């Protein structure tokens, strides 16, 4: 079961898992279900807010991969509910239904005492999973990227328009969404007991300015503080981008626990190679659409 499967990570993880076994997924919006069904998943449209909502569709599920959450919420309370509240519901449902293993996607720096509400909520979610009594893998993933996803979209848009969020010195270890999916599949494949917290990042750490140089033109970027960046991105993307999201992007996000790729024998992709793979996928999708339209 993959909860909150509508995003770039959800699609990549479902794609990896359906090659091995039956996959069930949850999404909040009906329109998000069809692409996942096309990948081979059985999809339920429901919010993950109460255990009862999940218990009915968890029987015979060995592993629950919990993706519900994210930083781009309308308020701090919404960040807590999306990330901490959903983990409470998922773990309670997993225990009731007899699910054996929980995989939680978290982030570097997650801590119950962190001042940023997203990192604090993720810390609380980790605590719930670790203390659940279930087999568990907490994967603290650095910024994952693929076609879509707020961090990747924001950095590409910033490069296109000559700006970087923050002072540019923050360090990131961008990890291709397909590599995250590979680690999740490897965790799921383990027949022995799994229990621990691991970090997941790309093979090389880069500053935000270095990412800009790879994605953009050979110019010096303008550095926008989180408030200005949120306002600019909201205008450029025509969707609300919260200050909490841009505050997160102005921070470093690098591995802070034992490496999941090494632990589960998955090779990660360099950032430039990952960008080329994404471009090739986008080009193929466009070609297929043109052919379909005649």
The DSSP line for 70-112 is: -S--SSHHHHHIIIIIHHHHHHHHHHHHT--EEEEEE-TT--T
Q: Is 171 contained in some domain?
A: yes
**What's the total number of domains in the chain?**
1
Whole-structure pTM value:
0.94
Helix (H, G, I), strand (E, B) or coil at 23: coil
Q: What pLDDT does residue 126 have?
A: 98
Q: What pLDDT does residue 285 have?
A: 61
Q: What pLDDT does residue 283 have?
A: 74
Q: Is 163 contained in some domain?
A: yes
d(CA 159, CA 146): 16
Q: Is 137 contained in some domain?
A: yes
**Cβ contact 171:250 at 8 Å:** no
Q: Is 132 exposed, middle or buried (0-12, 13-18, 19+ CB in 10 A)?
A: middle
Mean pLDDT for back-to-back runs of 10 residues, the chain (294 residues):
95 95 93 95 86 86 95 97 95 94 98 98 98 97 94 96 98 98 96 96 97 89 98 97 98 97 96 94 58 50
Q: Is 197 contained in some domain?
A: yes
Q: What pLDDT does residue 287 have?
A: 46
Angle at 201 between CA 199 and CA 202, to 5 degrees: 155
Dihedral sign, Cα of residue 190, residue 192, residue 193, residue 199: negative
Q: Is 292 contained in some domain?
A: no
**Cβ contact 174:142 at 8 Å:** yes
- The CATH code of the domain that includes 78 is 3.40.50.720
Q: What pLDDT does residue 281 have?
A: 82
Q: Is 287 contained in some domain?
A: no
Q: What pLDDT does residue 162 have?
A: 96
Q: Is 89 contained in some domain?
A: yes
Label residues 243-279 b or e (16+ Cβ within 10 Å = b): ebbbbbbbbbbbbbbeebbebbebebbebeebbeebe
* CA nearest neighbour of 62 among 92, 89, 22: 22
Structural domain harbouring 145: 2-278
Q: What pLDDT does residue 289 have?
A: 44
Dihedral sign, Cα of residue 182, residue 68, residue 134, residue 41: negative
Q: What pLDDT does residue 53 have?
A: 79
Q: Is 16 contained in some domain?
A: yes
Please name the residues in contact with 192: beta carbons below 8 A apart, sequence gap of 6 or more: none
């Amino acid at each position: 079961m993959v909860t909150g499967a509508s995003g770039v990570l959800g699609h990549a993880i479902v794609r990896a898992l359906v090659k091995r076994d039956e996959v069930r997924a949850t999404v909040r919006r009906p329109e998000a279900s069809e692409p996942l069904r096309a990948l081979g998943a059985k999809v339920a449209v429901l919010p993950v807010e109460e255990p009862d909502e999940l218990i009915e569709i968890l029987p015979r599920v060995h592993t629950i991969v919990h993706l519900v959450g994210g930083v781009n919420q309308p308020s701090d309370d919404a960040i807590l509910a999306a990330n901490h509240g959903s983990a409470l519901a998922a773990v309670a449902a997993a225990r009731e239904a007899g699910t054996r293993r929980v995989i939680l996607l978290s982030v570097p720096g997650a801590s119950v005492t962190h001042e940023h509400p997203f990192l604090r909520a993720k810390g609380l979610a980790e605590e719930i999973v670790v203390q659940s009594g279930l087999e568990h893998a907490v994967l603290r993933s650095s910024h994952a990227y693929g076609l879509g996803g707020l961090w990747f979209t924001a950095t590409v848009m910033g490069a296109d328009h000559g700006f970087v969020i923050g002072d540019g010195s923050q360090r990131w270890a961008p990890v291709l969404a397909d590599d995250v999916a590979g680690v999740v599949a490897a965790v799921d494949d383990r027949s022995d007991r799994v229990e621990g917290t691991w970090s997941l990042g790309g093979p090389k750490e880069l500053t935000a300015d270095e990412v800009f140089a790879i994605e953009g033109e050979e110019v010096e970027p303008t550095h926008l503080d989180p408030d200005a960046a949120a306002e600019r991105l909201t205008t450029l993307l025509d969707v609300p981008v919260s200050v909490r999201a841009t505050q997160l992007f102005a921070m470093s996000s690098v591995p802070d626990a034992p490496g999941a790729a090494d632990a589960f024998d998955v090779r990660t992709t360099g950032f430039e190679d990952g960008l080329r793979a994404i471009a090739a996928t986008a080009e193929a999708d466009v070609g297929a659409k043109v052919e379909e339209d005649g």
